[in-house]
Structure 1
């Protein structure tokens, strides 16, 4: 696997290109009247770029993350990146974005919400002074998401388990982590309670049949990911091995799916699937290893190690697609590739 520093420059170029590109753009927004049919930038002055709102948010997140690396110091793109982020994430723009979310409380739920919280988190944690200042601006966006989550979750009868944007576990896990870092224990408690209600009774997830032809997430692994954030150590020692009992290196879920038509925006989701699955495996395998060490469960230890052998093959297609010339992939895949690379480096 190539070194993570090898990807900083190409991913920065991809992110900068995306967040300064207005079209094509999919607004995905319900028009209540003709007054709502206006250029996207009038409604979403920060994130009317990079194909759609949520991709724009997480491409801003990616660029901010890359600026925090050693490879960004003295890079030719650094000044331009700070300039663009500062312009897009101005106080005025973010206040408009937060107001739009409040006026459209089901829009971008929960995927776009999650990336808005992630963006705020990485800005606040940055070693780059200019980015920490932008974190002050984006705090209102994260706080808006926290308010929306609090109002929404008590009314949710059941989780969405599809392997796409509407997946409940994927979004809630990221929002929970952001809330925890921000010291918002009230939001952590709301999400943890909902996750327990949704998932605590699940066992022996069917990893053979979970995939569809346009997934970019594994519903089962997303569920396992959030429960590792929610359950106590003792609870997890029982729940996680039982939930993952049907997962093996031979499971289709741990095998990359070949993209036959890279120009098909739905099928290109499969590039992200390999990357997101690899990241989940790298998060979950150490949990299984820890449980195995504490319980003397040799087969559980072997399962964890076998899962990790699938990581490189899962990541490879998505890494190639992340900085490709095909925009239906390159407008979003690099964010998932970057997360997987970080986990891989930390193994």
Structure 2
């Protein structure tokens, strides 16, 4: 791809995240108050992930920093990232995050988006020669257990283009929950296995940052054996070679980046680029569908990448999706 991740860009993206993962305000807590005692500050509620406007954005800010540190260990921001992790990912702070989950009102906290991102962070930290993954493991195991408890109860998937999307949650959890692959795969088959001829006529909606069609396909590419994925994908999006559904090949227009919901569409462009690249990689190298898929990925990345900074409504989260898009 023309827009490829390199050390200079990694430094730029890391500095964006370092500027907000410890920025407590403004803040949009996903917090249930059972009484006056629950009216607490974000940092009191969440000793690790209190910044970045909301809990899940803070988590994937940490994920991005961990990924960039592993990919570019000599970049200028590396020492600041290591210092942040040493300062914030401590046994006491992680215990505070785990304790928050014990409240009765926290059963659905960040389900499934934040669950998936936390497990993606844990899987990324496990690739580092540092104690951070072990320190975070009580919290990671708490969220993995939430998936184990929830998935058998989830009769239906959630197919929206935002945080409740169940395909995205499973996809982000998969690298951590390798021991639970049969549960994830069985759930994906149950939810999506019979889907055919996806029209994608409702995409994009006005505040999407995920493509329901493409994220579902990316999940199936991740979880299904290749011999099972290929016929499923052929039936799910049968007109890919002809550039249909056209809406999936066309970057979204973003009219107002100061509006948090409309700014989601920059994330849609980045997440579509990520999905198109993942799906192209799942096909045979000579498959004629790969060329239009990779071209669509390039268009979407080019549309989204210039806007990862500029206004806090996008700046507090978009860089993470840019790294997803560029890393595939």
Would the TM-score normalized by the shorter structure come out above 0.5?
A: yes
How far off its partner does 1:288 sit? 3.0
Give yes or no for contact 2:168–2:215 (8 Å, CA) kept in 1.
yes
Give matches, 1:32-51, under 5 Å: 32-51=34-53
Give yes or no for contact 1:205–1:246 (8 Å, CA) kept in 2.
no
Match of 1:298 in 2: none
Match of 2:262 in 1: 267
Question: Where do 5+ consecutive residues of structure 1 fail to align?
Answer: 294-300
Match of 2:233 in 1: 240
The higher-RCO structure (CA 8 Å, 6+ apart) is 2
Match of 1:341 in 2: 326
How far off its partner does 1:69 sit? 2.5
Question: Where do 5+ consecutive residues of structure 2 fail to align?
Answer: none
**Cα distance in structure 2, aligned partners of 1:80 and 1:238:** 47
**Cα distance in structure 2, aligned partners of 1:326 and 1:249:** 33
How far off its partner does 1:220 sit? 0.9
**Cα distance in structure 2, aligned partners of 1:255 and 1:30:** 39
Across the aligned residues of Structure 1 and Structure 2, the Cα RMSD in angstroms comes to 1.5
How far off its partner does 1:74 sit? 5.5
**Cα distance in structure 1, aligned partners of 2:49 and 2:160:** 25
Match of 1:119 in 2: 121
How far off its partner does 1:325 sit? 2.3
Render the CA deviation track for 1:71-119: whole Å, top value 9, x for unaligned.
x4161x3222211121111111111112222431211001001111111
Match of 1:73 in 2: 74
Q: Does 1:319 align with 2:313?
A: no
How far off its partner does 1:207 sit? 2.3
Q: 2:283 aligns with which of 280, 285, 288?
A: 288
**Cα distance in structure 2, aligned partners of 1:20 and 1:199:** 38
Give matches, 1:1-347, under 5 Å: 1-5=2-6, 6-70=8-72, 72-73=73-74, 75=76, 77-103=77-103, 104-126=106-128, 129=129, 132-180=130-178, 185=179, 187-247=180-240, 248-249=242-243, 251-289=246-284, 301-322=287-308, 324-343=309-328
How far off its partner does 1:65 sit? 1.2
**Cα distance in structure 2, aligned partners of 1:311 and 1:3:** 12
Identify, as 1 or 2, the structure richer in helix. 1
SS in 2 for 1:19: coil
Aligned length: 322
Give yes or no for contact 2:3–2:326 (8 Å, CA) kept in 1.
no
How far off its partner does 1:228 sit? 1.6
**Cα distance in structure 2, aligned partners of 1:312 and 1:152:** 36
Give yes or no for contact 1:206–1:246 (8 Å, CA) kept in 2.
no
How far off its partner does 1:309 sit? 1.2
Render the CA deviation track for 1:281-325: whole Å, top value 9, x for unaligned.
1111132336xx6xxxxxxx2222212111221012321111x22
Give yes or no for contact 2:3–2:302 (8 Å, CA) kept in 1.
no
